Amino acid sequence: MGKQETNVVDVRTPRVSIAIPQGEKGDNGQAGAAKEKPLKMRTQGVNVFYGDNQALSEIDLDIRENEVTALIGPSGCGKSTYLRCLNRMNDTIEGCQVEGTVTLDGENIYDRTVDVVHLRARIGMVFQKPNPFPKSIYDNVAYGPRIHGLVSSQDALNEIVMTSLTKAGLLDEVRNRLHEPGTGLSGGQQQRLCIARAIAVNPEVILMDEPCSALDPIATARIEELIDELRKNYTIIIVTHNMQQAARVSQRTAFFHLGVLVEFGDTERVFTSPRDERTQGYITGRFG
Amino acid sequence: MQFFVLAVTLVVLTGIGFFFGRSHALSSVSGRARNLHSLPDYYGWYLALWCGLPSFGLFLLWVLAEPYLIDVLVINQMSAVLPDKWAGSSDLILNLVQSLAAGHTVPGEATPALQEAADHYNALKKTSFAGLAAAMASLVAAGLAWGLRQITPGLRARNQVEKVLRWLLVASATIAVLTTIGIILSLLFETIRFFQLTPFWDFLFGLSWSPQTSIRTDQVGSSGEFGAIPLFTGTLLVTFIAMAVAVPIGLMSAIYMADYASPKIRNIAKPMLEVLAGIPTVVYGFFAALTVGPFLRDVGMATGLEVSSESALAAGGVMGIMIIPFISSLSDDIIAAVPQSLRDGSLALGATRSETVRSVVLPAALPGVISACLLGVSRAIGETMIVVMAAGLAAKLTANPLESVTTVTVQIVTLLVGDQEFDSAKTLAAFALGLVLFAVTLVLNLVALRVVQKFREQYD
């Protein structure tokens, strides 16, 4: 396995540092600018331990701006753990220890001087299970702007709430019941509310931890459309169990297995001609 | 003592019945337990129940009815020989006869008639005991014979035992409920008697409380006033002070334990806080009376405030400390039950911990926290020992926490302590106060339970 891993690194490293495009990226035709987008986040040598258990080892991964990066892999492979490293949500877990560097715009987010609260305002997160606060729809969206003091007037707050709901594609459905509890919405609406809540603080990166796993296919399709829409303004990293979903929404795909990053590359390439046999096995459904 | 011997014998016989039934069932299938309908033990229980239950029932009935029967018999026998001046005071006579029968000396002279009655009483008791023993023995024997005849491999002993168990449980529950009802009814009847002596509205809205009633008609100045308002304001004042201490401290320690403390600290801190709940209230009482009260008075003297050494502040403050563990422990459970996903959602938006607690966790836990506080209030209202020792006795209508006040519970204690006739307005007032107190705490508890239930539904 160690041999294969070095192999993967060899494959990937030139793409990142020297940035030789291979001329793919054919999805939707529009991304075919064929230029690498600027680097947004970069992780180098990330190791994560839960107590004595090592959950991730030596993860090197680059996230590019205005792209959707999908993290796939079997359960327990560490992809959610990795995602939670990116906004330091692992800090809240007892006994969790993160090594290595994670940079956002070149600045190490694990640096002593970094304010976690500020960091999380720049990197939003949407969770697996919709978790609207037991407050009104309006207050759910207004929560972030309020605690960060983003607005000084009620009008400005109204505007943020409306734009966020519009961006999340939820406004038309809830326009007449903004002051009813957010927990009364359907599962898919709740998840879009959580997305609206996340984009209300105007983050640069949005992390999504299996955002559709609790939703039915129609709600899932709406969220996927939304993700594609949001890509214009945000950098998105999404963990998913659903490989069709990864293929549909993402431009790049990283395959994790047993705490190791096995393969990382353009989505189309990873799904059509995987270089590692484990990736091949997983995406063709032979295991996982 | 004799009854005790009887009860032990019954238990032993029942035990023997168990083994007898078990071995009988086994021998009926020549040792192959698989051929029995139920496990062999169930046949043992079946026979044991047949042996024990009927005679136990008889035993209970006998114990309840015997004193009454014997009294009637003794009185009947004596009424013929007693002088007229004793007529109508049979209770007194019975007391005399009983103490004479037990070998105590009686006041005055033991007349031959009394002595004779005492002998008769003793003889009756002996006969009764012998009769009971014989009846129980025969019931055990009959149960044993009947049960043994019933035990066949096909007998559904398991189902039968299950049925009996069910009725045992029903009986236990009934006893608990009936006792409660009995207590309420006795409160109610005495209260009604009280309101025949004192007008209802004078009691509920009267502003003056001085429960001295005259024993003789020619006494002056002690007609008694039963206005309960000063007592209720006193209770309210002390309760308010107690909650002002307990709610902030209890709630904040709950938040600390649920949201801030590491599991290690929480595992130490929570039991430590709960130790507070294990301190007897009388200990809190003398802490309030001997330490806190004088301390407050000294502080008052130093700052020029007039603080009475028995003050509402001392009693209420110490009571608040007593209530902290109730509020913190309950609130901690409730706050910990708020899903982690809500906290994550808030933290991921860049909220700090305290912002998360204030704007997400507490609002979500609010119903539960309120009901924890209501339970605390009902404890504070019903608390007696601390206020008896530290709040004072004078029924003053005041809102000043530095003065001494008296509470409903304190007055119930003082009304009933000492030699009292049990039909004066003074003692009956205690029942009226008790009933009001009961009603208030009952309502508070019901409200709290309802709120907790609603809260549970929210996350399940």
Q: What is the 3-state secondary structure (H, E, C) of B97-152?
A: HHHHHCCCCCCCCCCHHHHHHHHHHHHHHHHHHHHHHHHHHHHHHHHHHHHHHHCC
Query: What confidence score (pLDDT) does residue B89 get?
Result: 67
Domain identity same for B111 and B249: no
The amino acid occupying position B258 is A
Of B334, B341, B349, which to mutate for an interface test with A (greatest number of A Cβ within 10 Å)? B349
Position with higher pLDDT, B196 vs A28: B196
Quick one: CA torsion of B125, B129, B135, B139, rounded to 10 degrees? 140
What is the residue-wise DSSP string for B183-231? HHHHHHHHHHHHHHHS-HHHHHH-S-EE----SSTT--S---EE--HHH
Stretch A93-110: mean pLDDT: 90
CB contact under 8 A, B344 and A198: no
B46 lies in some domain: yes
Whether residue B65 is contained in a domain is answered as yes
Residues B231 and B95 in one domain: no
The contacts of residue B55 (CB under 8 Å, 6+ apart) are B10, B135, B136, B137, B139, B140, B143
Surface-to-core class of residue B39, CB atoms within 10 Å of its CB (0-12 exposed, 13-18 middle, 19+ buried): middle
Q: Which residues of B touch A125 (CB under 8 A)?
A: 344, 348
Nearest to B342 among A131, A144, A148 (CB): A131
Chain A residues in contact with B348 (beta carbon < 8 A): 87, 89, 120, 124-125, 127, 198
* Cβ separation A133–B364 shorter than 8 A: yes
Pairwise CA distance, residues B160 & B158, whole Å: 5
Which chain A residues touch B338 with a CB distance below 8 Å? none
Tens-place pLDDT, residues B262-315: 888 989 988 888 888 889 999 999 899 999 989 998 998 899 888 888 889 999
Q: Pick from B262, B350, B363: which is nearest to A148 by CB?
A: B350
State yes or no: pLDDT of A26 exceeds 70: no
Q: B122 and B265: one domain?
A: no
B119 and B32: one domain? yes
Tell me if A147 and B262 make a contact (CB, 8 A cut-off): no
> Residue B319 in 3-state DSSP?
helix
> Per residue in B214-225, is it b (16+ CB within 10 Å) or e — as a string?
eeeeeeeeeebb
Indicate the helix (H) or strand (E) that contains A64. Answer: strand A53-64
Secondary structure class of B305 (helix, strand, coil): coil
Could A117 and B351 be called an inter-chain contact, meaning their C-beta atoms sit closer than 8 Å?
A: yes
Summarize pLDDT for B344-368 with one digit per residue, the tens: 999 999 899 999 999 999 988 888 8
Residue B262 pLDDT:
86
Instruction: Report residue A83 as tokens.
Output: 């995602």
What DSSP string describes B431-452? HHHHHHHHHHHHHHHHHHHHHH
Residue numbers in A near B337 (CB within 8 A):
none
Considering only CA atoms, which of A83, A53, A59 is closest in space to residue A70?
A83
Contact A194 B345 (CB under 8 A): yes
Which CATH number do you get for residue B403? 1.10.3720.10
d(CA B414, CA B427): 9
Using an 8 Å Cβ cutoff, are A135 and B363 in contact?
Answer: yes
User: Cα B420 vs. chain centroid, distance in angstroms?
Assistant: 23
Contact A201 B350 (CB under 8 A): yes
pLDDT > 80? residue A30: no
**Considering only CB atoms, which chain A residues are within 8 Å of B364?**
133-134
Q: Are the beta carbons of A174 and A92 closer than 8 angstroms?
A: no
B351 and A125: CB-CB below 8 Å? no
At A245-268, the pLDDT tens digits run: 999 999 999 999 989 999 999 999
Mean pLDDT, chain A, rounded, equals 84
Residues with Cβ within 8 Å of B307's Cβ and at least 6 positions away in sequence, in order, are B296, B297, B299, B300, B301, B313, B402
Say if residue B357 is in the same domain as residue B273. yes
Digit-coded pLDDT (tens) for B225-235: 788 888 889 99
For residue B17, pLDDT over 50 is answered with: yes
B406 contacts B231 by C-beta, under 8 angstroms: yes
Average pLDDT across chain B, whole number: 86
Could you give the CA distance from residue B218 to residue B225 in angstroms, rounded to a whole number?
Answer: 18
For residue B340, the distance in angstroms to the closest alpha carbon of chain A comes to 10
Do B131 and B260 have their domain in common?
Answer: no
Q: What is the ipTM of this complex?
A: 0.81
Question: Phi/psi of residue A17, each to 5°?
Answer: -80, -40
Write out chain B residues lying below 8 Å of A135, CB-based.
363
pLDDT at A21 over 50: no
Nearest-CA distance A35 → chain B (Å):
32
Residues of chain A found within 8 Å of residue B367, distances taken between Cβ atoms: none
Q: Are A256 and A73 in contact (CB under 8 A)?
A: yes
Cβ-defined contact of A147 to B355 (cutoff 8 Å): yes
Residues B143 and B266 in one domain: no
> Is residue B381 a part of any domain in this protein?
yes
Compare all CA atoms of chain A with the CA of B262 and give the residue at the minimum distance.
A94
Count of structural domains within chain B: 2
The H or E element that residue A69 is part of is strand A68-72
Q: How far from chain centre, in Å, is Cα B129?
A: 33
Looking at the structure, do residues B54 and B147 belong to the same domain, yes or no? Answer: yes
Across A49-69, b (16+ Cβ under 10 Å) vs e yields eeeeeebbbbbbbbbbbbbbb
The residue among B123, B140, B155 that closes a domain is: B155
pLDDT tens figures, B443-456: 988 888 887 777 66
Measured between beta carbons, which residues in chain A are less than 8 angstroms from residue B352? 117
In the predicted model, what is the mean pLDDT of residues A102-120? Answer: 91
The alpha carbon of residue B351 is apart from the nearest alpha carbon of chain A, in Å, by 6
Interface size, chain A vs chain B, as Cβ–Cβ contacts under 8 Å: 67
Pairwise CA distance, residues A110 & A87, whole Å: 10
Measure the CA–CA gap between A61 and A70, rounded to whole angstroms: 12
Together in a domain, B122 and B230: no
Tokens representing A282? 């997983």
* C-alpha–C-alpha distance, residues B460 and B458, integer Å: 6
Indicate the residue of B262, B341, B364 with minimum beta-carbon distance to A129: B341
What is the pLDDT, as a whole number, of residue B237? 92
User: Within this chain, do residues B407 and B294 fall inside the same structural domain, yes or no?
Assistant: yes
CB nearest to B342's CB, from A117, A133, A144: A133
Q: What does DSSP assign to residue A38?
A: P
Q: How confident is the model at residue A3 (pLDDT cuts 50, 70, 90)?
A: very low
Asked if A135 lies within 8 A of B363 by C-beta distance, the reply is: yes
Residue A120 Cα, gap to closest chain B Cα (Å): 5
pLDDT band at A25 (very low <50, low <70, confident <90, very high): very low
Q: Helix or strand or coil: residue A133?
A: coil
pLDDT > 90: what percent of chain A?
54
Q: Is residue B305 part of a domain?
A: yes
Q: pLDDT class for B1, splitting at 50, 70, 90?
A: low
Contact A270, A263 (CB under 8 A): yes
Give Rg (Cα) of chain B.
31
Euclidean distance between CA atoms A34 and A251, whole angstroms: 12
Cβ proximity of A196 and A166 under 8 Å: no
How close B454 gets to chain A, by Cα (Å)? 14
Numbered residues of chain B with Cβ closer than 8 Å to any chain A Cβ: 262-263, 339, 341-352, 355, 359-360, 363-364, 458
Nearest by CB to residue B263, choosing from A94, A118, A148, is: A94
User: Residue B29: inside a domain, yes or no?
Assistant: yes
Report CB contact under 8 Å: A125, B363. Answer: no
Judged by CB atoms closer than 8 Å, whether chains meet at B344 and A134 is answered as no
The model's confidence at residue A215, banded by pLDDT at 50, 70 and 90, is confident
Residue A11 clears pLDDT 60, i.e. is over it = no
Among B127, B155, B183, residue at a domain's last position: B155
Question: What average pLDDT does the segment A108-130 reach?
Answer: 91
**Contact across the interface for A89 and B263, Cβ inside 8 Å:** no
Give B288-293 contacts, CB < 8 A, sequence gap 24+: B288/B314, B288/B315, B288/B317, B288/B318, B288/B319, B288/B386, B288/B389, B288/B390, B289/B314, B289/B389, B289/B390, B292/B317, B292/B318, B292/B390, B293/B390
Distances in whole angstroms, Cα of residue A241 to Cα of each of A216, A238, A288, B103: 14, 10, 10, 90
Question: Is B165 within the bounds of a domain?
Answer: no
Residue B218 falls within a domain, yes or no?
Answer: no
Contacts of A174 (CB under 8 A, 6+ apart): A137, A165, A185, A189, A193
Please give the residue range of the domain that contains residue B408.
225-459
Instruction: Tell me, yes or no, whether B392 lies in a domain.
Output: yes
Residues B230, B136 share a domain = no
Identify whether residues B389 and B260 lie together within a single domain: yes
- Quickly count helices (H) and strands (E) in chain B: 17, 2
Closest residue to B344, CB basis, from A89, A147, A198: A89
Domain stop point among B129, B155, B181: B155
What are the pLDDT digits (tens) for B300-352?
889 988 888 888 999 999 999 999 999 999 899 889 988 989 999 999 998 99
Chain A residue numbers touching B344 (CB-CB < 8 A): 89, 92, 125, 127, 131
